[in-house]
Amino acid sequence: MASQLPGTGYLPMFLPATDSAAIRAAASEIEHRLERVDVLVDSAGMTRAVPHGDLEGMDDETFDRILITNVRDPFAVIRAFLPLLRLSGDAVVVNISSFAALKGEGSSVPYAGSKAALDTMGKSLALVLAPQIRIMGIAPAGVDTDFIPGAYPGRLSAAHRTEPVEGNLPTG
């Protein structure tokens, strides 16, 4: 995907988000190559499809991995890149959330809860980092992709595909 992006002045990276040292090293590399960060897109996400009513079907280890990946890791990335975002003077962080956070549905209860936590964390960060750094949340609706294969067989109705999301962004 990165090879298909037009233009220059950006550096797409895959960060092992659970490795704080690697995140800091990436921030240092970007500082040397680009000097500042104007846009940080945080698209970390993981889940495991477990029906919402099947609480016994979600083990603690998977629950913890979902929360760490979807909440703590975005925080760690923002924290590591904060000095470079401040150098921009007009930076924006884009957190990729999910419509599951707004509807309480989706692949699993922990996933919906973790994306709601990401949204609330985004609101808190927006309050403390404004006006130099804007925090945005994008909450896509259900999409039939390989992220959770077979999670939506026949469930993506016309309403799911066309339901307006205006006014449903995490920061208002």
Catalytic positions are 111
pLDDT for residue 166: 47
Residue 54 lies inside a defined structural domain of this protein: yes
Residue 5 lies inside a defined structural domain of this protein: no
Residue 4 lies inside a defined structural domain of this protein: no
Residue 25 lies inside a defined structural domain of this protein: no
**Number of domain units in the chain:** 1
pLDDT digits (tens, 9 = 90+) for 128-150: 999 999 999 998 876 655 555 55
Residue 55 lies inside a defined structural domain of this protein: yes
pLDDT digits (tens, 9 = 90+) for 31-51: 999 899 999 999 888 898 888
Residue 171 lies inside a defined structural domain of this protein: yes
Residue 30 lies inside a defined structural domain of this protein: no
User: What average pLDDT does this structure show over 17-35?
Assistant: 90
Domain limits for position 75: 38-142+153-172
CATH code: domain of residue 105:
3.40.50.720
Average pLDDT of every residue of the chain:
84
H-type alpha helices, the chain: 20-34, 60-67, 73-88, 99-103, 109-129, 158-162
Residue tagged 């990729």 (tokens) = 96
Residue 70 lies inside a defined structural domain of this protein: yes
Continuous segment of H or E residues that includes residue 159: helix 158-162
Would the pTM of this model clear 0.85, i.e. be above it? no
